[in-house]
Structure 1
């Protein structure tokens, strides 16, 4: 379940950072396309590219027989039409054939569009080929395309290549401006390369107008991935000094960094240091949310801090921060793992009484824990609560309970669940 919390937090972080103004420059991939006035030609090319008969040479042979008028907008429209159907290698061969036949008539914006499509399809070999052609053919790379390339290369562990392209953007006829500087910083920080990102920020301060909150968020996220509390705190202080008030996203990022560091090095300081950060948040009119507390609860659960977990859940209610189903899951989980089954069931009942309807994975995970510690009767009780809440997703639970019951000799109950599930 930790991955659910982590994914939710990352989505929340990304949603907030994406509100920065450079998002305004992002446009739909489809927006580069021109309306096509020759549907028959489009259909003919689509049929050729999506055909499953023959190999790549056969594809090119069929394309050579195409008698229609090939245009740059038509090429882009074909790619958009078949990108979800055609194999990427056939798509690449079609594009390279079009590039050869159109030469300078294949517009830069359509070339950029094709590269973004291959990125979307995760065909990194095709991306490399097109990137090489950008320089050879003297094409103009759009800032949006660079952002996509930088993000992908860093995700693949090719941060050196991403930085290399950034430093040589002039060879791609792309400006080093606020957008491209922010894009490479975000890409590097997304994988914890905060030090290198700060180097970019320092060298290109003149390209960024003012202190951008999104740059601070990225740097904070990058340092937090390395669990570097000292550097993360420095970024928070720099924000305050430069008149940028840290928001809930920034503080939650720092809180995660602090809690994960203490989880490894100072478990006894988990609660107090986290509560100190929350107190600081309130002093700046930034109020902790259930996500803030869930970060702490997640780390407490990993160290089996049962008492502190229950106290934090109670403190949430008293401070006016309503626990969500993830909060209840984290506390119930540590109770079950510690053998406090009665108290764990009470926590689940509290959640249900408050009208919270959890994801079906809430029940599936807890039932799995109960079966793992040989408490099948408790698991069956929890399954009844799950069915009572009508959350669906019962199949995986049957897959866990039926074999467990049969291995324990309770064939009658196993058969009952089998009949119920089928």
Structure 2
């Protein structure tokens, strides 16, 4: 304690010397504040050097600052604040305000994207921002920048604003804008509007109608389960754009995504009668739909139905591929039939197929779910040796840890967490929260605190939280019950006397010697 006081006195004397001799009077307050913060940081360093636990708890300032994400562009922040400003606070419209305050700015696509991402609640004020960009002589819209605005208004489901944006710049929109517009319409549950958009996009927006754009619309519709709209659209445009095998496969897949196996079989038969060859993509979609329906309704007929469909594939000359095995393995793992999935995995080589990252990840999760921890670790090593180690990213490891914590294998979860860091995969806030919560539930607070300090050192923005301890892992207090001597009742006293008298009577009876035999 005296040494610390001497250190602070010397530092304060040095501070006053610099203030009186080296600095002008107007800089005294600023410099005193700087030195006070420096003395505070030095005091913390001095105190942490005297206490090892404090040094472990306090993160290094340089490492935390280096791991923080970069701040957004100040110009984007200024534009975003102007867009988010209340319109009633300023009589000028947003277009004029941007023209007055940002006339010296040369907008770029990255600046436009950053501004839109920082202004999710600006609403239709963004239309004024788009008007300012159009009038700016140093900026010209492109297919990429238009897709940013289409995505922005599509997230808000404001498709009238999207129409206004595309109408103002006819002839500039391209494939990215078309993909964004169709994707937002389909995801908003408007398949009829998506079909109508394709019908009028050439006359209204200058987008080219061709077979590739039709395939894009069909793919988006079928991927979200709107196969009926997609099939009707393809049939109506058959004279203009004759469908090919890829488009027919997409239609079959769309019916399967919608869960309508009969419609998928009907369309497949129509394709076969029309001279089209049903490819592996269509058969894999039908197989996946069949597996899902069997899991949901009749799990006992799963093997028979899948074998029948696989035999039909062989008869049609369609070989099995990796996607076929992935469909079967995934559905077997969802039915908790991990052993059958492993047998199928080992038989892939007989069909000339080799597992990909999807196969490995599904099996690793299933093995951990079945508490076959050693086999799960071996599968991770096997995945690395197969060349898919780069697919073991933060998301994959988080899925493994979540399963291990769910089956109460916290020690193995910590070993997998160690592997995660050895693979140079930086864990995030959710990973640390998951492990700390489970450790606290197991009443291992020292290990949870160590993880918290480690996260702080790595620059992860974790916050101290209150976690509940599982009652099973609480140390139960041993209750000491004091035995009080109770007064005997008369029946208890008489019974005790009878037992004692019986013992006395039996004590006079001669007992036979053990292990004694007659001598004859």
**TM bucket normalised to smaller:** 0.5 to 0.7
Are 2:114 and 1:85 aligned?
yes
Are 2:232 and 1:199 aligned?
yes
Q: Which segments of 5 or more consecutive residues in structure 2 lack a partner in the other structure? A: 1-74, 458-520
- Structure 2 Cα separation of the partners of residues 148 and 417 of structure 1: 42
Partner of 1:30 in structure 2?
A: none
**Match 1:296 to one of 318, 325, 328:** 328
Confirm or deny: 8 A CA contact 2:195 2:233 kept in the other structure: no
Are 2:266 and 1:234 aligned?
yes
Q: 1:118, CA displacement in angstroms?
A: 1.0
Q: How does 1:177-216 map to 2 (within 5 A)?
A: 178=211, 181-208=214-241, 210-216=242-248
Q: Which segments of 5 or more consecutive residues in structure 1 lack a partner in the other structure? A: 1-45, 69-73, 103-108
Q: Deviations over 1:294-337 (max 9, x none)?
A: 22222222222233223222322544433345434434444444
The residue matched to 2:113 in structure 1 has which SS? coil
Confirm or deny: 8 A CA contact 1:118 1:126 kept in the other structure: no
Structure 1 residues 378 and 201: CA distance shift in structure 2, 3 A = same
Structure 1 residues 182 and 374: CA distance shift in structure 2, 3 A = closer
Confirm or deny: 8 A CA contact 2:192 2:229 kept in the other structure: no
Partner of 1:61 in structure 2?
A: 96
Confirm or deny: 8 A CA contact 1:255 1:295 kept in the other structure: yes
Q: How does 1:89-238 map to 2 (within 5 A)?
A: 91-96=126-131, 115-122=146-153, 127-131=159-163, 144=175, 148-167=180-199, 172=204, 178=211, 181-208=214-241, 210-238=242-270
- Structure 2 Cα separation of the partners of residues 51 and 168 of structure 1: 34
Partner of 1:252 in structure 2?
A: 284
Count of equivalent residues: 358
Q: TM-score, normalised by structure 1?
A: 0.67
Structure 1 residues 203 and 143: CA distance shift in structure 2, 3 A = farther
- Structure 1 Cα separation of the partners of residues 375 and 449 of structure 2: 29
Q: 1:131, CA displacement in angstroms?
A: 1.7
Are 2:413 and 1:379 aligned?
yes
- Structure 2 Cα separation of the partners of residues 347 and 111 of structure 1: 49
Structure 1 residues 364 and 281: CA distance shift in structure 2, 3 A = same
Partner of 2:293 in structure 1?
A: 261
Indicate the structure with greater helix content.
1
Confirm or deny: 8 A CA contact 1:263 1:303 kept in the other structure: yes
- Structure 1 Cα separation of the partners of residues 382 and 419 of structure 2: 12
Confirm or deny: 8 A CA contact 2:157 2:188 kept in the other structure: no
Q: TM-score, normalised by structure 2?
A: 0.56
The residue matched to 1:84 in structure 2 has which SS? helix
Partner of 1:345 in structure 2?
A: 374
The residue matched to 1:150 in structure 2 has which SS? helix
Tell me the C-alpha RMSD between the 2 structures: 4.3
Q: Deviations over 1:233-269 (max 9, x none)?
A: 3333344444443444333322222222222122223
Q: 1:278, CA displacement in angstroms?
A: 4.1
The residue matched to 2:114 in structure 1 has which SS? coil
Partner of 1:407 in structure 2?
A: 441
Partner of 1:309 in structure 2?
A: 341
The residue matched to 1:149 in structure 2 has which SS? helix
The residue matched to 1:206 in structure 2 has which SS? coil
Q: Deviations over 1:50-80 (max 9, x none)?
A: 37458563543346669x9xxxxx9xx9474
Q: 1:380, CA displacement in angstroms?
A: 4.0
Structure 1 residues 380 and 179: CA distance shift in structure 2, 3 A = closer
- Structure 2 Cα separation of the partners of residues 381 and 138 of structure 1: 57
The residue matched to 1:207 in structure 2 has which SS? coil
- Structure 2 Cα separation of the partners of residues 237 and 96 of structure 1: 52
